């Protein structure tokens, strides 16, 4: 039965992805040149909120629907009345039934002991990272195996247990650490180069969803057990979409601010596939566990950015040059260096400015607000060179040390609105990780603090999600939950960055790339370097984890170095279709979320759209939570 359901899920997911790619609005978003032209056509001014840049409006069919709606006579009576009380119930019967199953995880209420344990573990992990524990330093660095170029005959060498495959990894984020752990689990010799000067805590906790947990479990059961032990289960409560402010009418349905639109569980599809339940773990803790249990001490070398590489050809491996001129040699190079990957730049022959500084992962924690402002402007140019798509959104994010008012019933929710939406998820330890995504052109920055306004980011967000008086600039009075989390955060906790991703399908006619999308010779890409995606599904890190598992599974079959290119090509062909579909889901979801409020006012179409979203969620989750990848 499970196999049949999985097959249906894949078929349904594929159909949805094709529809997503076919939509005019989404197709425009996939084309970098069109997006650039659209952005340039908007004059750069200062908004009412004193934010440099200008909010972008809806594009495609939604723009036409909004104009049509504004031109029609507005009848106040249709929008009056009481919304159904059923929209306010956190856990409906269909979710309660799944959560009550004997093998479903049971919610244990937040308590002081667990809160202290989780927060202390995160602080300790951050301190360990700053002290460079487990990193390659001193004499060990000078004697590292990768510094010596081996004499390998033309045609390559045989791989044996005593003379294993050697792998260099660019990037020490989640993708790179998982690949390094997988290499070591298969007996390979591995070295990882991270450009940051330390593993600074940045980006908040990571949702390790069921599919990623299965990949880690197959790579190294001890790592899996440690992550589950350190994490907070989020699959024991409801997830879903809410409307941010009162919306709708008697013909399409009435909804008060904070009413549920769609509710679902994530544990049902996981149980069907025999997968573990999703957990959330602090980023420094994940790094600490992977460094401790994944590979030997001295595997990771910091302050080491891979600048260029040379394919030595005919099974003789690859020669790498670091930014400081240091040389490194191995049989394989894996580029796990993020969306602005330097390895990808060299692999695909992109323009000189395509390899930029990573604003996330291990390196991002080094950015202060001044550096972030400069990076926001620089990234616009980098994206054009790197052939990356600006999503149309800027994102404010923080981890609020706050016990959410709905913590016992809700693990993940999105408050939807026009031009923006607010995402929140349980971060463990009575903390909430939140994201405010606002549609506007790339490169915008907040004003610098002044005596009159020492907290410009908080000032903007309090206006954007105002829950009293006249509400936001569009007159919408938001559900108070958004401000509950925003006001629980301090200015320095809040980070801002524009969101970029990549086209979900190949945008090239190069035969080599069509046959081997993410690999060439002894070099391959994984994680965000291969398939950056919007955060809506929480699958960015999960797909990176799947990449690491599949990449090393293919490499573990290699018995001679001349077979490395074939193995890497096979890995990329297996992974590209699945990640493209999930990228398509994430892009489509992001583009539609800010037009959800429009759907709420259209008779027949609104209820139909909501019903189809509710019905499709289990199928989408079944596709995500597959036990094989």
Q: How do beta strands 410-417 and 238-243 pair?
A: parallel
Write down the pLDDT at residue 211.
97
DSSP line for 12-69: HHHHHHHHHHHSHHHHHHH-HHHHHHHHHTS---B-TT--BS-PPPP-THHHHHHHHH
pLDDT at 201 over 60: no
Signed CA dihedral, 400, 462, 390, 52: sign only: negative
C-alpha–C-alpha distance, residues 435 and 427, integer Å: 12
pLDDT confidence band for 312 (50 / 70 / 90): very high
**At 505, is the pLDDT very low, low, confident or very high (cuts 50, 70, 90)?**
low
For the record, the structure tokens of 142 come out as: 């000078």
pLDDT > 80? residue 399: yes
Ranking 45-54, 357-366, 418-427, 450-459 by mean pLDDT, the lowest is 45-54
Per-residue pLDDT of 243-279, as tens digits, reads 999 998 888 889 999 999 999 999 999 999 999 999 9
Please say whether the beta carbons of 412 and 406 come within 8 A: no
Q: What pTM, to 2 d.p., does this model score?
A: 0.87
pLDDT confidence bin for 405, thresholds 50/70/90: very high
pLDDT interval class at 1 (50, 70, 90): very low
Per-residue pLDDT reduced to its tens digit, 27-70: 222 223 333 333 333 333 333 333 443 344 445 566 666 666 66
Q: How confident is the model at residue 331 (pLDDT cuts 50, 70, 90)?
A: very high
CA dist 128 and 133 (Å) reads 6
pLDDT at 504: 63
């Amino acid at each position: 039965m499970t196999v049949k359901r999985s097959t249906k899920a894949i078929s349904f997911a594929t159909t949805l992805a094709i529809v997503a790619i076919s939509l005019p609005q989404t197709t425009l978003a996939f084309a970098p040149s069109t997006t650039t032209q659209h952005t340039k056509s908007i004059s750069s001014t200062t908004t009412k909120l004193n934010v440099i840049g200008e909010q972008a409006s809806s594009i495609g069919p939604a723009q036409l629907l909004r104009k049509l709606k504004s031109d029609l006579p507005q009848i106040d009576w249709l929008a009056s009345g009481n919304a159904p009380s059923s929209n306010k119930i956190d856990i409906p019967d269909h979710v309660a039934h799944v959560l009550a199953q004997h093998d479903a995880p049971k919610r244990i209420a937040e308590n002081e002991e667990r809160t202290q344990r989780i927060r202390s573990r995160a602080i300790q992990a951050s301190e360990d990272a700053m002290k460079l524990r487990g990193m390659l330093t001193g004499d060990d660095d000078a004697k590292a195996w990768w510094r010596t170029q081996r004499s390998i005959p033309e045609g390559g060498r045989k791989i044996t247990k005593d003379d294993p495959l050697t792998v260099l990894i660019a990037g020490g984020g989640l993708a790179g650490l998982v690949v390094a752990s997988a290499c070591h689990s298969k007996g390979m010799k591995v070295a990882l180069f991270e450009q940051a000067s330390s593993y600074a805590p940045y980006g908040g906790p990571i949702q390790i969803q069921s599919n990623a947990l299965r990949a880690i479990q197959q790579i190294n059961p001890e790592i899996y057990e440690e992550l589950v032990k350190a994490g907070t289960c989020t699959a024991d409560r409801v997830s879903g979409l809410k409307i941010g402010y009162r919306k709708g009418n008697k013909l399409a349905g009435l909804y008060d601010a904070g009413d549920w639109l769609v509710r679902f569980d994530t544990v049902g599809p996981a149980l069907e596939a025999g997968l573990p339940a999703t957990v959330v773990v602090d980023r420094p803790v994940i790094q600490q566990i992977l460094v401790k249990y994944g590979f030997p001490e001295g595997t990771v070398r910091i302050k080491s950015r891979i600048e260029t590489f040379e394919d030595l050809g005919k099974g003789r491996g690859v020669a790498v040059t670091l930014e400081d001129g240091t040389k490194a040699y191995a049989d394989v190079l894996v580029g796990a260096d993020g969306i602005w990957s330097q390895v990808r730049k060299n692999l695909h022959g992109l323009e000189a400015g395509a390899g930029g500084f990573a604003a996330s992962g291990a390196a991002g924690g080094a950015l202060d607000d001044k550096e972030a402002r400069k990076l926001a402007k620089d990234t616009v140019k980098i994206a054009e060179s790197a052939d990356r798509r600006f999503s149309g959104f800027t994102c404010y994010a923080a981890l609020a040390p706050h016990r959410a008012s709905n913590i016992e019933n809700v693990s993940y929710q999105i408050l939807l609105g026009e031009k923006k939406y607010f995402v929140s998820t349980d971060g463990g330890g009575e903390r909430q990780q939140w994201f405010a995504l606002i549609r506007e052109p790339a490169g915008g920055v907040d004003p610098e603090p002044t005596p009159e306004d020492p907290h410009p980011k908080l000032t903007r967000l309090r206006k954007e999600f105002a829950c009293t008086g006249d509400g936001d600039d569009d007159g919408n009075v938001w559900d108070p939950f958004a401000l509950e989390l925003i006001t629980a955060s301090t200015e320095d906790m809040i980070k801002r960055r524009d969101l970029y991703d990549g086209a979900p399908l190949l945008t090239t006619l190069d035969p080599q790339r069509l046959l081997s999308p993410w690999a060439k010779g002894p070099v391959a890409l994984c994680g965000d370097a291969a398939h950056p995606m919007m955060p809506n599904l929480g699958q960015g890190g999960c797909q990176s984890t799947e990449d690491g598992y599949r990449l090393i599974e293919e490499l573990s079959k290699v018995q001679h170095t001349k077979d490395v290119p074939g193995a890497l090509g096979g890995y990329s062909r297996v992974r590209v279709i699945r990640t493209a579909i999930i990228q398509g889901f994430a892009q489509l979801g992001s583009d539609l979320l800010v037009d959800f409020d429009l759907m709420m006012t259209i008779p027949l179409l609104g209820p139909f759209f909501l019903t189809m979203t509710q019905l499709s969620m289990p199928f989408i989750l079944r596709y995500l939570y597959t036990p094989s990848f």
